Structures are given as structure tokens and as C-alpha cells.
Amino acid sequence: MTEPVRLSKRMSELGLCSRREADEWIARGWVRVDGAIVSELGSKVLPHQRISVERQASAQQARRVTVLLNKPMGYVSGQAEDGYKPAVTLVNAESRWKEDKASQQFHPSQLRSLVPAGRLDIDSVGLLVLTQDGRIAKQLIGEDTAIEKEYLVRVQYTKPGRLPEADLKLLNHGLSLDGKKLLPAKVRWQNDDQLSFILREGKKRQIRRMCEAVGLKVLGLKRVRIGRVTLGNLPPGQWRYLGSDEKF
């Protein structure tokens, strides 16, 4: 006998929405289980039961925006801290990239619940995704995400000579952080002082700590790609909408 699970959890597992969205839709009477409306929060379902959502829920979801920002140094990804501004303060009508091809018009209501899907620390720059869409957040930062994130990292070797080949191999696979083995990465030299890192996870200050472990000091770190979406020519401090034809 399969155990019943919370309806909101099951909706999230199916990729219909985030758990928070699911609770909101359930409370509004927008969710049906096997054709019957379920409006009680905390309701449970069995895995074989059919879940559908009303048109109002789909319409609300379609209005949710996802923004791509080229984060400059000195901004934090999430909540304001230690006097530093959050990256979302850069999203306004004036700082929208002039070459953004999306037909959407900017409206301040789009800033409501616009949250970062993944982080870039205060000293790092490049592609930061801010979204109102729980499905995209889950796709990018969910526990089972397999979406690659690519970084260009300027480094300085703190020991005599050049980084040994064995240590480059270690960056690719074999390092542990906080007592846990890291997933395999793709790390290669771009030029004499710059490495390309492609990761499928995002532990706090992961690249800086990986570099430290093999005697490399990070001088600059820029995220240039998340899945199939690239930073491209987006200028620092400016943003654009994720296009309707773009998928991570």
C-alpha cells in the first residue's frame, strides 16, 4: 500500500508549481483531484490520483516573470545584509537592457516575490536568475537539479611554478567540502590565468574553497551560463526577461 502524501508536495513533485503556489491554489479552490475540487490545506493524495488545475491558476502562472541580471560586485543575491543592497534593487525600468527582445512591459508588481534562483556571492559577478515562477526555482535549485552552471575564474597560483596536472584532476573530481564528496565537475584552463568551471551543484563559496584546496587564489569569478541560457552581451548592472523560447 503506497502512503498518501500532501497534495502540495505531490504537485511540486509533478512540476506543476512550487509548494507555496500549490497551497495558494488549493485555498482558492483552483485544484481538482480526480475531478473534484479540493480546497482544504494539508489534504493528502495517493500517487495514482489525477491532479488538475483550473484555468485561473495557469493564467496566474503565465503572468509570472523570470529576469536575467548581470550582477556587478558589491550586491548580495538575496536579502540585504551588512549595508549591502540586494541584487533585485537593480531591476527597474531604467536598467532594462535596451536590446531585450521580450514583448513584456516592466511593471513594479513584477518585483513582488521576485527571488533569486541560486546565489552569487558579493565578490562574484555575472548571470543571476530572479524569478516569480516556483517551477523555475525548483528546476535550478531543487535537490535533484542536474542543470550545469558555467563560471570563468581568474586565479593566481600561490606556490612556486605552475598548478600540477594532478591538482587540476582533483578539481575535476576527488575534492570534499564539509565532509561530503563533491559531484564531478569540468575544470580546464581557458588561458594562462583563467579556468573554466562547469558545476552541477552550488555549495556556499564552492569554487573559491575548491581553488584554496589546491593552492589557487581566486582573483575574479564570473558566471556566464546556466543550463542553455548564457549571459551573452548583457551589460553589468542591466537585466532582461527570460524569453518565451528560452529554456534552462
List active site positions. 121
Residue entry with cell 581566486:
218
C-alpha cell at 197: 568551471
Q: Which amino acid does the sequence have at 179?
A: G
Residue entry with cell 535596451:
98
Longest CA–CA separation in the chain, Å: 70
What is the DSSP secondary-structure string of 70-116? EEPTT-BSSS-BTTBPBGGGG-SSTTB-TT----PPP-GGGGTT-EE
- Angle CA 178–183–185, to nearest 5: 115
Which of helix, strand or coil describes residue 230?
A: strand
Which of helix, strand or coil describes residue 207?
A: helix
CB-count exposure of residue 196 (10 Å: 0-12, 13-18, 19+):
middle
Cα–Cα distance between 158 and 135 in angstroms, integer?
42
Cα–Cα distance between 85 and 76 in angstroms, integer?
6
